[in-house]
Amino acid sequence: MTNLLSSKAIDPQDRLIVALDFPDAESARALVTELGDAVVFYKIGLELFMTGGYFDLLHWLVAQGKKVFVDLKFFDVPETVRSAVRALAGSGATFATIHGNQAIMEAAVKDKGDLKILAVTVLTSLDRGDLDDLGFACEVDKLVLSRARRALAAGVDGIVSSGLEAPMIRHELGDKLMVVTPGIRPVENKPVDDQKRTVDVAQAFRNGADYIVVGRPIRQAANPRQAAIGIQQTIGEVFSFPRG
């Protein structure tokens, strides 16, 4: 079996990104404080953006020595997206998402500075039936690969992709794009929420992910810190035996 483990020089602890999907910034801060040194990287998305205090939280996270993934999935007139990315570039954020439209991707990379731009391929909440409803006459994996190729050509840094499609991306495009995989469940299971295309932690990395995004399995755990530590231990084990 081909080894698809990430070869990028990333600290194993940084490979876990915890999604702070809360209705208020205070709850997000409370979880970050509880998790302490178990987590370095956090994702802040649209729910928090609409509650106020989004950029205060971003700056607070950076001041705590954390890395921040701004997941707002910019989709607008290309020049507007370019301006938004330029404004975000000085915020201290590490990653930001945009939709995988060609003109948007090309505009987003022009003034990004050190900010890493990730193009969304197909949301992990969508499956074949959803694509039919949206008018895409192709399979999910074909659409993901097409958008990954376009992202590479546009010069973005990486993509957001389900762990199910990551192996195909690695086989087709090698290690040229960073792959961030959401929809992670700590163990293999049948999804019982809005995430339809999921994989577990170890499989996501064996499939070629560079980073994983985990939300509910940590936020809703009886002991969130122990849940995060358990995931970090799994990541450490996977990268301790890269040829296993």
Q: What CATH number should be reported for the domain holding residue 96?
A: 3.20.20.70
In a domain, 190, yes or no: yes
In a domain, 199, yes or no: yes
Name the nearest CA neighbour of 226 among 72, 49, 78, 34: 34
pLDDT at residue 138 in the model:
56
Confidence of residue 196 (pLDDT cuts 50, 70, 90): very low
Name the nearest CA neighbour of 234 among 203, 196, 210, 213: 203
pLDDT at 12 over 90: yes
Whether the CB-CB separation of 122 and 143 falls below 8 Å is answered with yes
What mean pLDDT comes out for the span 179-189?
73
pLDDT at 145 over 60: yes
Arithmetic mean of pLDDT over the chain: 86
Options 8, 43, 67, 73, the catalytic residue: 73
Residue 63 sits at the vertex; the CA angle it makes with 212 and 120, to the nearest 5 degrees, is 30
In a domain, 133, yes or no: yes
pLDDT at residue 135 in the model:
53
pLDDT at residue 211 in the model:
97
pLDDT at 30 over 90: yes
Whether the CB-CB separation of 78 and 103 falls below 8 Å is answered with yes
pLDDT at 146 over 90: no
Confidence of residue 190 (pLDDT cuts 50, 70, 90): very low
What mean pLDDT comes out for the span 119-134?
55
Whether the CB-CB separation of 175 and 157 falls below 8 Å is answered with no
pLDDT, tens digit (0-9, with 9 covering 90-100), for 71-108: 999 999 999 999 999 999 999 999 999 988 899 999 99
Determine whether 73 is an active site residue.
yes
Confidence of residue 120 (pLDDT cuts 50, 70, 90): confident
pLDDT at residue 166 in the model:
86
Query: pLDDT: is 179 or 129 the higher one?
Result: 179
Rounded Cα–Cα distance for residues 58 and 64 (Å): 10
Residue 51 sits at the vertex; the CA angle it makes with 49 and 54, to the nearest 5 degrees, is 45
Lowest-confidence segment of 10-24, 61-75, 122-136, 157-171 by average pLDDT: 122-136
In a domain, 1, yes or no: no
In a domain, 4, yes or no: no
In a domain, 204, yes or no: yes
Split into its structural domains, the chain has a count of: 1
Task: Look up residue 3 and give its two tokens.
Answer: 């080894």
What mean pLDDT comes out for the span 46-54?
93
In a domain, 115, yes or no: yes
pLDDT at residue 131 in the model:
46
Query: pLDDT: is 186 or 87 the higher one?
Result: 87
pLDDT at residue 2 in the model:
57
In a domain, 168, yes or no: yes
Q: Which domain holds residue 226?
A: 12-240
